[in-house]
Structure 1
């Protein structure tokens, strides 16, 4: 039995089979379910991405209350950036940073990503950058991305 080649179309088909949609499909469904307009950053981390996917997740038994957008580079495994948007606020512990609009963001790390969590447009945003591409300016990069959401 031959092993399938990981072409872009195979990668995209596999992603759909495991529940990912296009970003636009996921945003429209989230906006409909949560009755909020989603704004995405106009500035992204300066690393190359080959694909973007969206998915909807359930938390605390509430259907589709988390929108996840994932930017990946199929050839560079560490080039990952993700955005999670929630209607309900979730508490996070971490270091507090001031955003340009005067609101606070909370910076923290897990074993794979560095994150910044903040409120914008009545939604909670959690943006994360893979630690493999993180550097000493990661907080600055995440704050710049956060500040580009209007």
Structure 2
């Protein structure tokens, strides 16, 4: 579990460092290339790779946060063993680094655990399942964590746009996941 947490924190920090340097004159091609260089692909390709890897369909939310994005990317994280494998989808704005939203999906049996100190609120989704909202688990991001159909979903939204993205917005997004 420590290795998983370390990998997640590393990815968040690396992503933040790379894209905090984005300049207003960064072209779409340069921006896209920078993400492709670290393993991201078109979302539909990443979803297909993940379905083949896990041998199971992955339903994604239909809704996204009410923030503008210029790009969306995905990748299958297929690390050593199965415990750290998962699908990552990222939505970004090339000129506004704070407009950053991520969806992580991994088998629930290998999901991220949350300690009580990191829980700000607990919600009940439409299907009766529980969702945990945390502003403390990941530096710079607010998270909504929930499980559906054997998957753990982690919705990550940059704290700098939290005025536009309430926990209730994330719950709406979670409710838009349907197998």
Using structure 1 for the length normalisation, give the TM-score.
Answer: 0.89
Which stretches in structure 2 are left out of the alignment for 5+ residues? 1-24
4+ residue segments displaced more than 4 Å: none
Segment drifting more, 130-139 vs 26-35: 130-139
What is the CA distance between 1:63 and its match in structure 2?
7.9
Does the aligned pair in 2 maintain the 1:33–1:64 contact within 8 Å?
no
Q: 1:122 aligns with which of 140, 150, 160?
A: 150
In 1, Cα distance between the equivalents of 2:142 and 2:134?
Answer: 6
Aligned with 2:38 (options 18, 24, 29):
18
> Which residue in the other structure is 1:80 paired with?
100
Contact persistence 1:34–1:65 (CA under 8 A) = no
The CA distance in 2 between the partners of 1:63 and 1:78, in whole Å, is 30
Q: CA deviation at 1:135?
A: 2.5
Please give the root-mean-square deviation of Cα atoms over the aligned residues, in Å. Answer: 1.9
2:121 aligned with 1:101: no
Alpha-carbon contact 2:65-2:165 (below 8 Å) kept = no
**Greater helix proportion:** 2
